[in-house]
Amino acid sequence: MFFNRTKKRIFFSKNNDDLLEELKGKGINDKNILDAIKKVPRESFVNETYIQRAYENMPLPIDCEQTISQPYVVAYMIDCLKLKKTDIVLEIGTGTGYQTAIISHLCKKVYTIEIFNKLFSQAKINLSKLKIKNVTYSLGNGINGWREKILFDAIIVSAASEKIPLKLLQNLKNFGNLIIPKKYSSGNQKLILIKKTNENSFDQKELFDVRFVPLLNKNAEN
């Protein structure tokens, strides 16, 4: 049960414990990831229209014709990054901040980029309410990578791209991991995991089919 802004009681179709059990059943067994998901109230990041479904394992619409990702896909992508508490992570596509919040519990620092000002503002408010302080935000085009010269241990992209952005590969430390949905000419999308083996060499692994909103190559929207 949850009280919304008007103090109206909301009854969820499922709760966070139900979601965690479903994730375990799908092979998400990393205790740190499960603990991080348990700490993050998904209802805080969902539009009120869909709030009763906050803990269903499915993507949900948010503003600007974007979505909050399916929890299983969020957990799986994070699991692929093999994060350590000392890691610095770059996230492309903040959205309302749900994935950002989970990652913040698993690493030292998160840098996150959002192209839509409305979502950018919502995410900052949402994470501030949860007293999450190890996140640095940027309003801009994620294809261009981080605005300052920083190398990241891991990069996670929450939108599909036909090409792997060169700037993101350049933002990655040696032996770092980048996970991104790639869109093929057929229209299909697959998750791609990339490991940087040295300055100019990368190993690439194709994972499974997904469906993400497109990675936009344009100026940030006010």
Active centre residues (catalytic): 69
Q: Which residues pair with 88 in a beta bridge?
A: 109
* CA gap 137, 120 in Å, rounded: 8
Q: Phi then psi for 193, rounded to 5 degrees?
A: -110, 125
CA–CA dist 153, 78 (Å, integer): 13
Q: Which of 47, 52, 24, 25 is nearest to 37 (CA)?
A: 24
Q: Assign 181 to helix, strand or coil.
A: strand
Please return the burial class of 213, using the count of CB atoms within 10 Å of its CB with bins 0-12, 13-18 and 19+.
middle
Q: Report residue 176: phi and psi, to 5°.
A: -85, 165
The Cα-based distances of 133 to 38, 136, 201 in angstroms read 18, 8, 34
CB 153 within 8 A of CB 176: yes
